[in-house]
Amino acid sequence: MATPSLSQTKTQAQVKSSRRLSRLKRRDWLTGYLFVLPSVVIIGIFGLFPIAYAFYMSLYRWRVRQGRFIGLDNYERLVGNWYGGLMFLAGIGVILLAHWLWTDAFKSSGRKRFIKALAALVLISAGVIMALGWNMMSTAGDKRFLGSLIITFYYAFGTVPVQIILALVLAYLLFQKIRGQEAFRMIYFLPYVTPIVASAVVFRSIFSPRSESLANQALALIGIEPQRWLFEARPLLEVMFGGQLERLGIELSGFWAGPSMALVTIIMFGIWTFVGYNVVIFLAGLGGIPKNLYEAAEIDGANGTQQFFNITVPLLSPVTFYLTVLGFIGTFQAFNHLYVMREPFARGSVDTASIVIFDTFYKTNNYSLAAAQSILLFALILSLTLVQNRIFGRRVFRG
């Protein structure tokens, strides 16, 4: 019997080693997927399946029971004009194009001023395209639902930036060695853990239109007449400067009129409720910043303000980005306190998209239209998140 040569023995050993590595890789691959399988199943059942089923419902006439197939009629009813909707989406795409031109295009080119001017022109064009598309939709579409998107926009952009800025300042102050530090942290976090329906009811009492309410008594101390607060449907600018605007011949209407006073009152409630949560997250982020950076900056002569803007703010950018994205998603989905605090006298000026979807589902029993509204809201939240990730995500300091 022939004895295998040394080269054949090496080849057989290499094959066996290769097979062993392949088996180990397959086992590691299988182990990894088994670990993520429970999360995939939960997300699929409670996340992806409801979205897919909502889209399925939106394609049928559905009132309590499933009716006939109607295709995209519900979406056409909401949008009103497909060309307007496509123009609005195109405007979002043009905004991303402008950002690409501003940050990434022609980096090595010496004509940076020209590129930035072109990006600014593209951005202006995006605004015009989106305005034209929105005007086409609002003329022919569902005015209540489209109007609720504007109210949602007011609520989101009136709440989240103030929450972030206020929480960052408070967290920076609470991170210092001050007396009663733990007590202050607990006080600021308390509104977030308080049942939101109960706190909304208390706010309704505080901002009651009666002259003896706490908010109106506070205004009386500084010589301001009582306000109707949650019962006031007029825009805040009209309430505050109505006489001056009328004398100047300025008439604000539509989007430019701004949020109603009732919505601004709810915005104050949102800031009061969620700023404590942001403070806690910022405090966790501050704990991860090396102290030697502050010591080195102090040796170089930097004061507290300079250290805050040149060390704290940049190194907290991942936390800020996370809270901003999470905050916008949360405000676009907000429902409980809005439903509790809204009043019929506000004439729908506080009805965000989630409120309108609930009314469509619960009051009119039009399940398919409510499903179509929820799908459009989901698409809007997804688009906003992608734009945020594209524009602000790349500015995050990664260490």
Taking only the tens place, the pLDDT of each residue in 58-102 is 999 988 788 899 989 999 999 988 888 888 888 888 887 777 777
**Number of CB atoms found within 10 A of residue 251's CB:** 10
Q: Which of 254, 226, 250, 222 is nearest to 349 (CA)?
A: 254
Across 301-315, average pLDDT = 87
Task: Measure Cα distances from 321 to 274, 287, 326, 333, 385 in Å.
Answer: 16, 17, 8, 19, 11
What pLDDT is attached to residue 204? 92
Backbone angles phi, psi at 311, to 5 degrees: -120, -55
Q: Which two tokens stand for residue 277?
A: 């949560």
Region 1-17 average pLDDT: 60
**How many angstroms separate the first and last alpha carbons of the chain?**
65
Q: How many CB atoms lie within 10 A of CB 138?
A: 19
The pLDDT tens digits for 98-149 are 777 777 655 555 566 777 777 778 888 888 888 888 888 888 889 999 999 9
Same domain, 260 and 124: no
For residues 176 and 122, membership in a common domain is answered with no
Q: What percent of the chain has pLDDT over 90?
A: 42
Go through the chain and tell me how many residues it has: 399
Average pLDDT over residues 254-260: 83
Pair (158, 124) in one structural domain: no
Question: Domain boundary at 94, 112, 141, which?
Answer: 141
**Residue 123: what pLDDT?**
81
Whether residue 192 is contained in a domain is answered as yes
Same domain for 172 and 252, yes or no, is: yes
pLDDT of residue 324: 92
Predicted local confidence at residue 6, as pLDDT: 53
Please indicate, yes or no, if residue 16 is contained in any of the structural domains: no
Report the C-alpha gap between 383 and 19 in whole angstroms. 46
For residue 52, what pLDDT band results from cuts at 50, 70 and 90?
very high
Q: Helix, strand or coil for residue 251?
A: coil
- Predicted local confidence at residue 109, as pLDDT: 54
117 with 197, same domain: the answer is no
Residue 8: what pLDDT? 57
H-helix or E-strand spanning residue 60: strand 60-63
Q: Which amino acid is at 279?
A: V
Query: 111, 141, 171 — which closes off a domain?
Result: 141
CB 238 within 8 A of CB 129: no
- Residue 350 and residue 338 share a domain: yes
CATH number assigned to the domain comprising residue 364: 1.10.3720.10
Instruction: List, in sequence order, the alpha helices (H) in the chain.
Output: 6-43, 49-58, 73-79, 82-103, 112-140, 143-174, 181-193, 196-206, 214-221, 236-248, 261-286, 291-299, 304-307, 313-315, 317-333, 336-341, 353-362, 367-391
User: Cα separation of 97 and 26, whole Å?
Assistant: 42
Query: Could you tell me if residue 66 is inside a domain?
Result: no
What is the residue-averaged pLDDT of the chain?
86
The parent domain of residue 122 ranges over 71-141
The angle, 0 to 180 degrees and rounded to 10, between the axes of the packed helices 181-193 and 261-286 is: 130
> Which has the higher per-residue pLDDT, 9 or 357?
357
Q: Does the pLDDT of residue 318 top 60, yes or no?
A: yes
7 pLDDT band, cuts 50/70/90, is low
Q: What integer pLDDT is reported at residue 111 of this predicted model? A: 65
pLDDT of residue 105: 59
In the chain, how long is the greatest CA-to-CA distance? Answer: 113
Structure tokens at 141: 């579409």
136 shares its domain with 160: no
Count of domains observed in the chain = 2
User: Is residue 178 scored above 60 in pLDDT?
Assistant: yes
pLDDT in the model for residue 302: 85
391 within some domain: yes
Look at residue 20 in the predicted model and tell me its pLDDT: 76
Same domain, 150 and 129: no
Contact 387, 92 (CB under 8 A): yes
Residue 57 scores a pLDDT above 80: yes
**Which tops the pLDDT comparison, 116 or 189?**
189
Distance CA 297, CA 314 (A): 14
Same domain as 209, residue 287:
yes
pLDDT at 397 over 70: no
Averaged pLDDT, 261-284: 93
Residue 93, pLDDT score: 82
Which one-letter amino acid corresponds to residue 321? F
Sign of CA dihedral 393, 168, 237, 147: positive
User: Which candidate, 180, 89, 173, places its Cα nearest to that of 137?
Assistant: 89
